[in-house]
């Protein structure tokens, strides 16, 4: 079976969840081959995890040029790899970096691009949800191979252990790809809570939480359940919680096992970021709030009464 290239998203020596999702998808399309790009020594700590999710091969492009510049050198290396290998498909994460690399790669290869897909089938037909999840589009490239960015949390990663053969890539990047250099990289310290887009439990607060101080209630419930904290845009715009925790069309997309919406009305732009959550629980004092149309379990009540009671029950168990 032809190879399906999966461009690995990684950080701090760890493989990001979206990569595991892409490897799971790649197994349905052909033989998954992971592509790790970064500075010298970047691939070694990632190999076990990539093998665990079925990467039969790991192409390792390791060079200071791939670490010290913005994404153009990575697109150049990938373009060479695609031209030489003729893979069945190329998958990148629909993340800030993945999208930028994919766009450059499509131009270099004169290839169509399927952006932000939630599924891709063996015939190269992609599924995309647009207009805040209200419309589903099926699309296909009309030139070249299926080159797609995959929306994080669109599918569940399933392990399928394989022994990955490591193939070092020759990295020859010319000066035209080195026009913007990284001058500083500041990694936010990792909090005690899981990363929002990777958490299996997300507790989100909305305008109904009232103020920044009250968000402690949301955090407390998240900590009891080992979850991450999210926020609606109204809560973020009101200064209750930082923007990096915003869930929705203009925020993060999450798809946890459990999503709890506290004092959130359920506007379409909020739903766009959480509607694929497996179980949705809503607490809202307005029985007519649209979030109840989506919720698996709804509590009509004041969150300042309901949340402390729920927390007390959880502590007893």
Annotated binding site for FAD: 207, 232-233, 246-250, 263-270, 284
Q: How far is the CB of 209 from ligand FAD (least distance, A)?
A: 8
What does each C-alpha distance from 263 to 71, 217, 258, 309 come to in angstroms? 40, 12, 16, 16
How many C-beta atoms surround the C-beta of residue 123 within 10 A?
Answer: 8
In Å, how far are 221, 241, 305 from 211, measured between CA atoms?
17, 9, 16
Residues facing residue 34 across a β-bridge: 6, 58
Q: Is the dihedral of CA 267, 273, 275, 279 positive or negative?
A: negative
The site for ligand FAD (CB under 6 A) is made up of: 206-208, 232-235, 246-251, 263-265, 267, 269-270, 273, 283-286, 289, 302-304
In the bound state with ligand FAD, the residue whose beta carbon lies nearer, of 162 and 247, is 247
Q: Give 63-79 as a DSSP string.
A: -HHHHHB-SHHHHHHHH
Residue with Cβ nearer ligand FAD (32 or 251): 251
Nearer to ligand FAD, 23 or 261 (CB): 261
Residues comprising the binding site?
Answer: 207, 232-233, 246-250, 263-270, 284
The tokens 């669109």 sit on which residue?
154
> Minimum distance between the CB of residue 238 and ligand FAD, rounded to whole angstroms?
9
Q: Considering the complex, state which of residue 34 and residue 283 has its C-beta at the smaller distance from ligand FAD.
A: 283
Minimum CB separation from ligand FAD for residue 71, in Å?
Answer: 25
Q: For residues 143 and 106, what is the distance between their CA atoms, to the nearest angstrom?
A: 10
CB nearer to ligand FAD: pick between 93 and 208: 208
> What is the number of the residue whose Cβ is closest to ligand FAD?
248
- Find the shortest distance in angstroms from Cβ 221 to ligand FAD: 13
Q: Quote the tokens at residue 240.
A: 């209750």
What is the closest distance, in whole angstroms, from the C-beta atom of residue 287 to ligand FAD in the complex?
Answer: 9
């Amino acid at each position: 079976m032809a190879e399906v290239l999966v461009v690995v998203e990684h950080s701090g020596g760890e493989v990001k969840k979206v990569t595991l999702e892409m490897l799971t998808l790649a197994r349905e399309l052909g033989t998954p081959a992971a592509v790790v790009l970064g500075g010298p020594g970047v691939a070694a700590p990632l190999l076990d995890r990539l093998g665990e999710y079925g990467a039969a091969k790991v192409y390792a492009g390791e060079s200071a040029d791939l670490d010290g510049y913005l994404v153009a050198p990575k697109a150049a290396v990938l373009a060479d790899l695609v031209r030489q290998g003729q893979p069945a498909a190329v998958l990148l994460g629909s993340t800030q970096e993945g999208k930028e690399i994919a766009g450059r790669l499509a131009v270099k290869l004169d290839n169509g691009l399927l952006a932000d897909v939630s599924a891709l089938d063996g015939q190269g037909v992609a599924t995309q949800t647009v207009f805040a999840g209200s419309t589903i589009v099926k699309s296909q490239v009309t030139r070249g191979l299926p080159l797609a960015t995959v929306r994080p949390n669109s599918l569940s990663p399933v392990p399928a252990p394989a022994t990955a053969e490591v193939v070092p890539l020759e990295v020859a990047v010319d000066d035209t790809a080195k026009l913007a250099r990284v001058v500083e990289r500041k990694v936010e310290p990792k909090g005690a809570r899981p990363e929002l887009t990777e958490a299996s439990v997300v507790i989100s607060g909305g305008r109904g939480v009232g103020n920044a101080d009250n968000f402690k209630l949301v955090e407390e419930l998240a900590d009891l359940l080992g979850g991450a904290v999210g926020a609606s845009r109204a809560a973020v715009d009101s200064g209750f919680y930082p923007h990096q925790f915003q869930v929705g069309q203009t925020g993060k997309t999450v798809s946890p096992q459990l999503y709890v919406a506290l004092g959130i009305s359920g506007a379409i732009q909020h739903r766009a970021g959480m509607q694929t959550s497996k179980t949705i629980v809503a607490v809202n004092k307005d029985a007519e709030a649209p979030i109840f149309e989506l919720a698996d379990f709804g509590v009509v009540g004041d969150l300042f009464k309901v949340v402390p009671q729920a927390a007390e029950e959880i502590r007893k168990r």
